[in-house]
Structure 1
Amino acid sequence: MPAPAPAPAAALARGMRLSLVTRCMALVGTLLALGVLAALALHMLLPDRPLLVFGLCMAAMLPLAYLAVAARVRPVLSMFRALEGTVASYRDADFSFGLHWPHNDELSDLVAGHNALGNVLREQRIGLVQRELLLDTMVQNTPVAMLLVAGGGAIVYANVAARQLLGAGRKLEGHPLDAIIDSTAPALGEALARGGDGLFTTGDGDDEEVYHLARRSFTLNGRKHELLLLRQLTLEMRRQEVQTWKKVIRVISHELNNSLAPLTSLAHSGAELVRRGQTERLPQILATIEERTRHLETFILGYARFAKLPSPRLEACAWDEFAARLADQVPFSVDGALPADPAHVDPAQLEHAMLNLLKNAHESGSPPGQVQLRVKSALGMLRIDVLDRGQGMNEAVLTNALVPFYSTKRSGTGLGLALAREIAEAHGGRITLANRDGGGLVVSLILPAPGR
């Protein structure tokens, strides 16, 4: 419905612009004119008493001037107080106020600009609230657990997934992160202590769950905060394992066909030569058959070793001797001092696992002098780290690196890290991978310390 047309007087008032100075000068002129007229009238009545005329004029005009000026200034002062109030409301993020000034002067321009600013701030506030609601809905319903931790270690924000994972559905805001971790997820605490992004597991056997931890630090409101993202990868890894086993079957079938077809052909050729009595080429044929058979045997034993890892035979193993045996086979440097107490492990299995990890470190593109071995014992656990300064791993590779037969190398079998994982778990421990700050990878074997 169209708005009614403004009255002619109101339209004329809005069309005429009178500045504050003009209105003040008009008021002063009016008061002066009244004063002159009053003085002339009194002078006609009292022509011989000029001082009395002046006193009577002042006594009459001063109160009248005060009342007129006060009446003119009072709306302006009220508008200034209203402007001050709306500015305070804007400071408190309340943009619901608007002002009105009926006159067409400089103050009306100020009020119009103030209202326009309020409208812009109000629209921006509404848009920001809508975006915040959308973002909060997305964050709350994402399957990735999110924790925002202040510099002091207190949890500032936790979404639904984080509450279900770490707090059985209860709110976590305000609680210290260390207390939540100690009571619900010690493996997360160990992953946080390692620094950087990485994988960790909780539970055992069929109840084992695999998570990926990502950490990002930033400054919020002048204080350091850290955002922790916990993503469950168990289902993805199981799907990947199914695909990997299919790949294994294809690889084994391909390798068997590549070996058995030449063997069949060579055996047929040898039988034909014997039938003809041409035995001078038999040694060459038999040597080729032996070479292909040994290659096939080596190939099968590599997979069989992974599938049939024997139970470890634990015995005391001095770290100095163990490190010396490793150094005879692959170069590395020792970071820090080796523990004085011997480890209770299966030396052959642990040596096999460490050789795989050290060789992988050299093949990562790391400078040979940056491949390091670090052994520490704390909190009833023995931690063996292999560190390098290679290219590290992206999230996809980091997720699947421990899956059997998964490899990014063209000629790799994908058994090195998987076998190291099997050896660690056979000792009652686990293996973790994490990218290092500054580049490179750290692969950690975490085993129970002696007596645990």
Structure 2
Amino acid sequence: MSQISHISLRVKLIASCVSSVAMGLLLAFALQLWLARTAVITKAFFEPQSLYLVIFICCLLLVAWLSFLATRRLDTSLQALELGLLNFKDNDFSVSIPVSGNGQLRALAELFNESAQTLRKERQYIYQRELLLDKVIQSSPNVMLLLDDEQRIIYANDAARHLFNNGLRIEGMSLEKLLQEVPQELVSALNNPKDGLFSLSNDADNSDIETWHLSRGQFLLNGQFHHLVLLKQMTRELNRQEVAVWKKVIRIISHELNNSVAPIASMVNSGRVITKELNDPKLKLIFDTIEDRSSHLSQFIFNYARFAKLPLPNKTCVDWQTLTEQLKQHYQFELLGEFPQRPVSFDVIQMEQVLLNLLKNAHESGSDLDRISLEIRESSLSDPTQGLCIEVKDAGVGMSADVLSQALLPFYSTKQSGTGLGLPLCREIIEAHDGRISLHNRDEKGLCVSLWLPST
């Protein structure tokens, strides 16, 4: 039986046809012999031509019946294979066909089922990858728009929906309609065919300006051109690179100055010892002046070095009551509103330094002390990311547009004795906590400094 199963289907079909024809011929020969013996009876009922026709029809029916029996299993297998291939054509890979028949039919059925299983796995893998890719794109902070050749939006991620339409769905809208409610700077950038950087203001007085990078791509899909628009927020990255450059410069200058200040201080002490017996008031004044300026320069270098070597935040859960009481020991202010109920963790020492700097600036702004306020409230971004907002407000003279645009840069100061590191240090601490800082003039009078910190 195993040897028969190894015979090819073609050989079996040829053998079946030969067997059927042979059986038909044997039947015809047997009928002819039988009719020849009963010639008298046969002549009574049939003419010779009719007799041969009857023999021919009987043989034909026998051959057809034998062929039907021989090919019945083949027909069943081919019908199952045809049905399976039709399901493949309809992208349905869940079907499998029964494994039966001879060796070749069985091998063909097994191959079909293995192909169906492989295609099912590939389809599931592709589906999982599509879900993962969509999750990554939707979670990306970069704005992504996919347009067809008619400038109609085919696909947009979550960041794009929040930037253009307050989080609402924008697929299917035309780009022209979408740009009707956005700032003119963004409209100009998107209408410009070139890639590059552009600035986008978030408020009326241009105190909070963000830098974005626009890039485009084009590809052919299903015979149609598609256009990909990517918008990336570059403000924080540029700020980090800028601060990194400043820190490197500060470290180099601090190192060189320390190498000079230390020998000077040592020589002053040696000079005092050598000239002690002279008791000359002029020498004492010279040594005191050198020592005082050396000490001042050392303190100056220390302040800059602290900015250049700011440690990573050590986050702990904050007690708002304790923190505000400690702040009030240094500066007077009015506490507005209630403390947030959601727990927040950050470096309390660094955050206290930030708030002390801001309160110090508020006291030096010319504002009445009773109009300096501190407010801490829960807040969320447009993405929406949960967090809290800390605002320090005063009623001083405020800042001009030029000062607002440069206030967070290192070494920039409008004070005669200022180092220009107070607000940059605040920004560095806040951004190390994944937050952001912004300054804007109040509507009535004074300045408002806003700190936003994530809840996590």
Q: Give the TM bin, normalised by the shorter chain.
A: 0.3 to 0.5
- TM-score w.r.t. length of structure 1: 0.47
